[in-house]
Structure 1
């Protein structure tokens, strides 16, 4: 009977504790952007008419710094999302096991309690009762070791569930902090990007005509190769006409490529020359990213095209030095202007948004040399 009492107490304690689950924590708040706010405010307050080349360079460096921080936070968010998803799946599976074990233990506990509470008078009143009682007692005695083991397993699983709940709480807090930081950084970035666009638009004559001409070129181009070729051909006479205009400034040289980096932080799903979704060898790479992720310039150069092109969606084409071009497609929003000089890491726009976790958005990146698609590993060593 002492053994029964001990088992009953253990089982009851486990069953009661199994009903207690730790609640998830509420979100917390975020960090400040990597660039001092006073410096940002000072730069954005300057009238575009008074902007100097030094101011533009400072703004570009700020944009790159903030973009780097945003992409790091996006990588952190992606990792946290995956960890949370995995923890939730593990906890759901464990709680299902706990529910099943709890039901089995409750039935056994009830059987034990009934056996202990059976009065002696009941055994006298029913001639066959003593035999059945003895048989039940022997059966329970034989199964007690395995029941103790089950109770111990249930206890261990409850501890695991508590650990999972604590881990989920921690990861959700981290995700909340990171999300707040991203929101603040995107707000700062948007203000700087808008300032950059306004400065460029205010200092470039004939920009609307140039953009309209590019749209016509895109409408008549059958392939990306045609588009790049026609843009190059169109740019040459335009440059000549600018030189012939005495009042116009000499066109700036193409900025240096700088340190090459992939346009977004994400997972490469299709590499160069691997079969694409049509089964043909891919001329570029597909990078899976977060919906609304920041897209940056892979290398420094000049924006030659900014707009929609066939099934590629919104796309940016950047001319680099030495005959290279970058094609970045799959953007939801474009934050660049045709003819604009950019440095490596400057924001181009945002990746289109995902519909679900199982259908994540993809950015397409293609590197061309003298008009022909080449392996991006030629410029990006981490792809080799």
Structure 2
């Protein structure tokens, strides 16, 4: 009778097989040790965050200085743009005066030429001709008197023509000087635009460097906190303490961030207040209540007037210089920044007491949603082509109000 033989396990392998379950159990992770490691990582993250805050403190001081310098540079650029516009207008007036003088000189010159021609022809008449066609004595006397009076008149006209020509020389010299001033003003304006662009770029770089690092660190801390929470679910003894500590840290962080933001705004305000000359608002801006005109230029459409298509304007339309800076009319925060149908690039700022500013027609926006801005701080540029316009609308409680009334600190209702 043949029986199948069972495989025989060598005796040397039995200890290893018996120890295998034990080794598998030893490799199982220990939640308590993992929790200790996570808490260690959280402490390290807190230390890194403290170092980042110390570094950010220095950057915040530089950022406040940059914001103040940007406000001052924008104000100077607006002043130079107004001066350049004035010079260009003066050039136009001088050009028209030059044309009028040239026309008058040409007319005087033609009249003088006719008079000279008549005298020359009279002087070339021979005596024989006068004998052949004798005149009466009275006519001869009249002709002599006329000829005698024509000579002083001729000299008077010649002297007047000489004075007109000298005046034309002086006018052209003045015109050349004005053109030279306008060229220097345009060159200075270009340099101001470059300086302002550099300040705005540096401001954005500083803001993004600190904000991105804080965002990354906050994400890392949140992930560690979630992991710690999962582990502490296995250790109920520490659950209540973890939640209370997390809540305390969250509240402390919220208060710290609010304090940092308040200090950042106060630094910027102190810098602006410390400038030798604060940005002044043009008299033609038509905006009161401490507000700043959003762009340098003339107002082509005022609030409440009817335009060419019969629509009533609900804001102000400015005609600005190509590539000119656009600034915040008052302190506030950016609610919207980007393209919007029918408005082009649109920027919406939220102010105190229920006010909002709408700026449309920008060629470029240099502000981000959530960013705090001060009155007069650059937030964008006009289009660099042609004769750009900017539409500015001030709203309160969702209703358009007259920007000439400025910002009032009343109950927040709309006003006409």
TM-score, normalization by structure 2: 0.60
Question: Within 5 Å, which residues of 2 pair with 1:184-203?
Answer: 184-203=191-210
- Higher mean displacement: 152-161 or 140-149: 140-149
Aligned partner of 1:320 in structure 2 is 351
Q: Are residue 365 (structure 1) and residue 414 (structure 2) matched?
A: no
Contact 2:358 2:392 in 1 (8 A): yes
Question: Within 5 Å, which residues of 2 pair with 1:219-298?
Answer: 250=257, 252=261, 259-298=290-329
Question: Whole-Å Cα distance in 1 between the matches of residues 148 and 395 of structure 2?
Answer: 79
Question: Whole-Å Cα distance in 2 between the matches of residues 380 and 107 of structure 1?
Answer: 70
| 3-state SS in 1 of match to 2:313 | coil
Q: Are residue 96 (structure 1) and residue 103 (structure 2) matched?
A: yes
Tell which structure's C-alpha radius of gyration is larger.
2
- Taking structure 1 as reference, are residues 160 and 261 closer, same or farther at Cα in structure 2, changes over 3 Å only? same
Contact 2:63 2:207 in 1 (8 A): no
| 3-state SS in 1 of match to 2:358 | strand
1:114 Cα deviation (Å)? 4.4
Contact 2:63 2:206 in 1 (8 A): no
Aligned partner of 2:164 in structure 1 is 157
Contact 1:261 1:380 in 2 (8 A): no
Aligned partner of 2:281 in structure 1 is none
Aligned partner of 1:334 in structure 2 is 365
Q: Are residue 307 (structure 1) and residue 338 (structure 2) matched?
A: yes
Aligned partner of 1:76 in structure 2 is 83
- Taking structure 1 as reference, are residues 191 and 145 closer, same or farther at Cα in structure 2, changes over 3 Å only? same
Aligned partner of 2:48 in structure 1 is none
Aligned partner of 2:128 in structure 1 is 124
1:64 corresponds, among 71, 85, 88, to 71
Question: Whole-Å Cα distance in 2 between the matches of residues 85 and 273 of structure 1?
Answer: 32
Question: Whole-Å Cα distance in 2 between the matches of residues 177 and 91 of structure 1?
Answer: 23
Gaps of 5+ in 2: 1-54, 214-249, 270-289, 409-415
* Between structures 1 and 2, the one with greater helix share: 2
| 3-state SS in 2 of match to 1:261 | coil
Question: Whole-Å Cα distance in 1 between the matches of residues 322 and 198 of structure 2?
Answer: 21
Aligned partner of 1:378 in structure 2 is 405
Question: Whole-Å Cα distance in 2 between the matches of residues 365 and 50 of structure 1?
Answer: 36
1:241-290 superposed Cα distances (whole Å, 9 cap, x missing partner): xx89x899846479699842101122222221111343222111112222
| 3-state SS in 2 of match to 1:52 | helix
1:198 Cα deviation (Å)? 2.4
TM-score, normalization by structure 1: 0.65
1:86 Cα deviation (Å)? 1.0
Contact 2:355 2:407 in 1 (8 A): no
1:145 Cα deviation (Å)? 5.8
1:71 Cα deviation (Å)? 0.7
| 3-state SS in 2 of match to 1:281 | coil
Measured on the aligned residues, the alpha-carbon RMSD in Å equals: 3.6
